[in-house]
Amino acid sequence: MRLSSLVSFGSKRNGLQRSGASRRRFLQLGGAIGGALAALRPGTAHAQAPAGGRTLGAPVRPYGERSSYEKAARLTRNPRHPQASSTLTPLHELHGSITPSSLHFERHHAGVPDIDPATHELTVHGLVDRPLVFTVDELKRLPSVSRVYFLECSGNSGTAWRGVAESDAQRGHGLTSCSEWTGVPLAVLLREAGLQPDAAWVVAEGADAGRMARSLPLEKALSDTLVAYGQNGEALRPEQGYPVRLFVPGWEGNISVKWLRRLHVVDRPYMTRDETSKYTDLMPDGRARQFTFVMEAKSVITQPSPGRRLPGPGFHEIRGLAWSGRGKIARVEVSTDGGRTWQTARLQEPPGPLAHTRFCLDWVWRGDEAVLQSRCVDETGYVQPSRAALIEARGRNSNYHNNGIQSWKVQPDGSVAHVEV
């Protein structure tokens, strides 16, 4: 018995038959589906161990590893220049909303430094009453918090400005990840140092060879910014800034300076190399938008997505991720007909603020051509725009801050490809 023969519900808007009880009917079919799958494998209900099942298994290990059958990996964007490159998170192969530390995307300008936490120090100086120097151990003794936040490079999806058809979701959207971050609120350090009346910005500098530096407004520094030393329950990975990094929730990733060594409190932005030579948006009239910190609401369908093939018509769950630098995701809508009609997707709880939120939609594919899109709305009412609307407002000169709606075309043979609508 085929799974597709058991499920035949959908929405009249996309040519399917759906009743008000369709969701309930699908749940009732769960037992039948399970029975059908069992019928495909006679004897599985009382199956004996496989031939090698009584062979002594592998010994315990001091540090856990994934199964040898799992192959999800980061893709290196520029392997010829690995010290000034990035790796991309395989969003289409992840489960849930948290990115494993080993698969979190990277972006480096001068390679990954090897820093001994026993000798590393963080200096706070400038327009403060008491300049301070903290060791890593001293930072860990201070009041701490753990928060789930997404991080997104401002260059994520940048090739879409030029109409490049990426071959999968990883290449087009893999410069975003979501983790639990643990550390000291930056406000604790700044208040301990004592801010002077003229203090208005903080220049954060890293200990990498390029001395990555960005200017951070004091208001954001005192709200939810962290000096983080933990990720997903363990110490930061070297690629993520070990032993300490700045983490600025909801803002473009490059301002969350890694390998943090210095916080200089100043009265104005310092126009560092890293915030003037790049990370600005060139507008059609030749002017450039600068300090476009917030990553606007964005979503992407990860299943089905390019690089994968639907095995055949029938029931499929459309899945994806949505996020916003302005707060919680309030709603996600999915279209299967290129934006002509939209259905509200389910959000998996809890959809926290400034974090990846997973969404799902039940879909019965009839085997004909379909164009899948998702658009999200955050708690401020901001609606994810179409690519055409972004180009109309900002032209095609930018490489950054593209949060336009992404379209995937499903072909009758089940293959999925990038398409512009």
d(CA 94, CA 79): 23
Closest alpha carbon to 165 in 296, 307, 346, 260: 307
Tell me, yes or no, whether 201 and 254 share the same domain. Answer: yes
Least confident among 43-47, 95-99, 286-290:
43-47
Say what the pLDDT of residue 51 is: 56
In a domain, 366, yes or no: yes
Pairing mode, if any, of strands 260-266 and 121-126?
parallel
In a domain, 157, yes or no: yes
Tell me, yes or no, whether 276 and 398 share the same domain. Answer: no
In a domain, 252, yes or no: yes
d(CA 379, CA 398): 27
Closest alpha carbon to 113 in 225, 244, 284: 244
Neighbouring residues of 411: CB distance < 8 A, sequence distance ≥ 6: 369, 417
Tell me, yes or no, whether 232 and 373 share the same domain. Answer: no
Tell me, yes or no, whether 116 and 251 share the same domain. Answer: yes
Tell me, yes or no, whether 270 and 325 share the same domain. Answer: no
Q: For the chain, what is the domain count?
A: 2
Tell me, yes or no, whether 112 and 161 share the same domain. Answer: yes
Of 289, 307, 327, which closes a domain? 289
Residue 160: both structure tokens together: 């879409």
Measure Cα distances from 248 to 147, 185, 204 in Å.
Answer: 12, 10, 11
d(CA 300, CA 288): 27
| pLDDT for 152 beyond 90 | yes
Average pLDDT over residues 154-170: 85
Q: Is the peptide bond before 304 cis (omega within 30 degrees of 0)?
A: yes
Contact 120, 261 (CB under 8 A): yes
Owning domain of residue 268:
83-289
pLDDT band at 21 (very low <50, low <70, confident <90, very high): very low
Give the CATH number for residue 352. 2.60.40.650
Give the CATH number for residue 170. 3.90.420.10
In a domain, 41, yes or no: no
| pLDDT for 52 beyond 70 | no
Q: Look up residue 44 and give its amino acid.
A: T
Of 289, 320, 338, which closes a domain? 289
The rounded Cα 45 to chain-centroid distance in angstroms is 39
Of 289, 307, 332, which closes a domain? 289
Q: Look up residue 296 and give its amino acid.
A: E
In a domain, 169, yes or no: yes
Say what the pLDDT of residue 16 is: 37
Say what the pLDDT of residue 13 is: 39
Q: Please tell me which residue, 40 or 252, carries the higher pLDDT value.
A: 252
| pLDDT for 41 beyond 80 | no
Tell me, yes or no, whether 259 and 364 share the same domain. Answer: no
Average pLDDT over residues 166-191: 95
Tell me, yes or no, whether 327 and 256 share the same domain. Answer: no
Tell me, yes or no, whether 207 and 314 share the same domain. Answer: no
| pLDDT for 27 beyond 80 | no
pLDDT band at 98 (very low <50, low <70, confident <90, very high): very high
Q: Tell me which H or E stretch contains 172.
A: helix 169-173
In a domain, 303, yes or no: yes
d(CA 302, CA 318): 8
Average per-residue pLDDT for the chain: 88
Among 30-39, 349-358, 370-379, top mean pLDDT goes to 370-379
pLDDT band at 87 (very low <50, low <70, confident <90, very high): very high
Tell me, yes or no, whether 324 and 279 share the same domain. Answer: no
Neighbouring residues of 195: CB distance < 8 A, sequence distance ≥ 6: 127, 128, 129, 218, 265
Contact 279, 291 (CB under 8 A): no
pLDDT band at 31 (very low <50, low <70, confident <90, very high): very low
Percent of the chain with pLDDT over 70: 87
Q: Tell me which H or E stretch contains 150.
A: strand 145-152
Q: Tell me which H or E stretch contains 176.
A: strand 176-185
User: Judging by beta carbons within 10 Å of its beta carbon (0-12, 13-18, 19+), is residue 163 exposed, middle or buried?
Assistant: exposed
Alpha helices for 29-168 (secondary structure H): 30-39, 136-141
| pLDDT for 46 beyond 60 | no
Closest alpha carbon to 232 in 82, 97, 110, 130: 97
Q: Tell me which H or E stretch contains 202.
A: strand 201-206
User: What is the maximum alpha-carbon separation in the chain?
Assistant: 77
Tell me, yes or no, whether 233 and 122 share the same domain. Answer: yes
Least confident among 37-51, 105-119, 329-343, 402-416:
37-51
Say what the pLDDT of residue 44 is: 43
Closest alpha carbon to 315 in 33, 126, 66, 19: 33
For the chain, the residue count is 421
Tell me, yes or no, whether 204 and 329 share the same domain. Answer: no
In a domain, 408, yes or no: yes
Q: What is the DSSP string of 210-260?
A: T--EEEEEHHHHTTT-EEEEEETTEEPPGGGTTT-EEE-TTB-GGGS-SSE
Say what the pLDDT of residue 162 is: 76
Query: From the CB of residue 193, how many other CB atoms can be counted at a distance below 10 Å?
Result: 20
| pLDDT for 43 beyond 70 | no
Starting at the edge strand found earlier in the chain, the sheet holding 260-266 runs 132-135, 121-126, 260-266, 201-206, 213-217
Contact 306, 168 (CB under 8 A): yes
Say what the pLDDT of residue 72 is: 95
In a domain, 52, yes or no: no
